[in-house]
Structure 1
Amino acid sequence: MPEVTDERPYHHGNLRAALLDAAERVLRDHGADQLALRDLAREIGVSHAAPRRHFPNRQALLDALAVAGFARLDTTLRTAMAGAGDDFPARVRATMTAYTRFATDNAALLELMYTCKHRPDATLIVEAAEAPFGLMIELILQGQAQGMLEAGDDTARIGIVLFATLQGIAALINGNFVDPELLDGLVETAVEQFLRGARPIS
C-alpha cells in the first residue's frame, strides 16, 4: 500500500491570526471542547503540523484566544469611553454598555477568558486582563476626584460591585433567563442605581 502523505502547504501568510480566527468561530459555534489543532489546520488548508509553529498544544491555543479576548475587550472599553467625552455619568454609561454588549456578543469567548485566567501559570492572561479592569478602576477614581462618587471609599470594592453587576446582567442574557432585547434597559437601570448608590452623602 502506498504511503499516504499530507500534501497541504506548511506555510501560510499569517498562520497565527488565521488559526485564532478559525478557533474563535469553532468556539462560538460548537464550544471549546470541539477545538483541535488538526481540525483547524484542515480548515485553513495547511499541514497538520503547521499550527504547532505557534501553538505547541491545544492549551496554548486556548490561552492565546483568552489573551486576544482581553485585548479586544480593552480596546472596546477604551473606544466607548473615549466616545463619551469627559462627562463622568456618560463615561460610566458607555463603559457599562460596551462591556455587557461584548459579554453577550462573545459569550463563549468570555467564558473561556475567565476560565483560562484562573488556570495555574496563566501569567500572560492575568496581565492581559489587567488592562480592561484597570480602566474600570481609573473610571472610579475619576468619579471620586470629581465628587460624583464617595471619596475615600475602597476603589477595589466599588469596582468589584460594578463588575458583579455587569457580569450578572450578561449571565442572565447568556443563560436565556432574560430576553436579549432587554439588555439596554437593564444596563440603563444599573447605571442609574450605581451612580445613585455610590454618590457622596450630602
Structure 2
Amino acid sequence: MPIERGYHHGDLRRAVLDAALDVIAAEGPAALSLRDLARRAGVSHAAPAHHFKDRAGLLTAIAVEGHGFLSEALGETANLSDLGVRYVRFADRHPAHFQIMFRPDLLHTRDPELLTARERTRGRLLAAVEGRGGEQAAGFTAAWAMAHGFATLLLSHNLDDFLGGRSPEDAFRSLVAGRESDS
C-alpha cells in the first residue's frame, strides 16, 4: 500500500518492511527492489539503504522478524501434530515472512540477529522431541518436512482443491490423523 509523498516517517524502517511484505505477498520476493519500496514509502531512493544497506539486508530483517513470530506461534507444545498445525497456521497468517525465512540464497546468512532468531525457532522445534530418542527425532524431521511441505503447497495454492472449504489447520490435522492411522 503506497504511502502518500511528503509523509514524515516516524518509523521509516517499519514502513519499508511493511511495503516489502506487501510486495512479497502479492508478487513474490523476485519483484522486490529498494528503489520501488522507497517510491511506495514516499521517500528518496537512498532512504531504505540507511536501515538495510541492501536488498539482502532488508530480506534478512524480514526473516528475523518471521522467526520471532514463528517461535511465538510454536509455543511450548511437545505434541508433534499440534506443532505442525501451529507451523501451518503461521505460514498461512504470515505468507511473506514464510517465503523469505527459509531462503538462504536471499539472506545475509551470517547475520548475528538471524542466527539468534533461527536458533530460537530451532530450539522450539527440537523441544518437542527432547528426550524421545533417535527414532522420535527422525519422526520429528518427517513431521517438520510434512508441515513445511504442506505450508509451501498451501501458499502456492496447490492445495486449494484439497482444502475443500476447510481451514488449512483442519486440513493438516486430517492429513496427520490419516498418517497416524496408517502407522
Q: TM-score, normalised by structure 2?
A: 0.76
Gaps of 5+ in 2: none
- The amino acid across from 1:71 in the alignment is G
1:188 aligns with 2:177: no
Counterpart residue number, 2:97: 109
Secondary structure of 2:129 counterpart? helix
Q: Relative contact order (alpha carbons < 8 A, sep ≥ 6): 1 or 2 greater?
A: 2
Counterpart residue number, 1:30: 27
Q: Distance in 1 between matches of 2:155 and 2:7?
A: 39
How far off is 1:121 after superposition?
A: 5.3
How far off is 1:111 after superposition?
A: 2.3
Q: Distance in 2 between matches of 1:40 and 1:119?
A: 17
How far off is 1:194 after superposition?
A: 7.1
Contact 1:74–1:132, Cα closer than 8 Å, also in 2: yes
- The amino acid across from 1:50 in the alignment is A
**Structure index of larger Rg:** 1
Return closer, same or farther for 1:97/1:128 CA change in 2, 3 Å cut-off.
same
How far off is 1:172 after superposition?
A: 3.0
Q: Give the share of equivalent positions with the same residue, in percent.
A: 32
Superposition pairs of residues 44-83 of structure 1, within 5 angstroms: 44-78=41-75, 81=76
1:135 aligns with 2:124: yes
- The amino acid across from 2:124 in the alignment is L
Note the alpha carbon deviations across 1:157-187, whole angstroms, 9 max, x for none: 3321111110122233233332343433332
Counterpart residue number, 2:85: 97
Note the alpha carbon deviations across 1:90-119, whole angstroms, 9 max, x for none: xx4442222102223333431221113x56
Q: Distance in 2 between matches of 1:44 and 1:121?
A: 24
Counterpart residue number, 1:148: none
Q: TM-score, normalised by structure 1?
A: 0.70
Gaps of 5+ in 1: 1-7, 145-150
Q: Distance in 1 between matches of 2:19 and 2:149?
A: 29
- The amino acid across from 2:154 in the alignment is I
Contact 2:24–2:31, Cα closer than 8 Å, also in 1: yes
Counterpart residue number, 1:164: 145
Note the alpha carbon deviations across 1:48-95, whole angstroms, 9 max, x for none: 2221211111121112111111111112222xx4xx7xxx54xx4442
Return closer, same or farther for 1:175/1:53 CA change in 2, 3 Å cut-off.
closer
Q: Aligned pair count? A: 173
Return closer, same or farther for 1:11/1:27 CA change in 2, 3 Å cut-off.
same
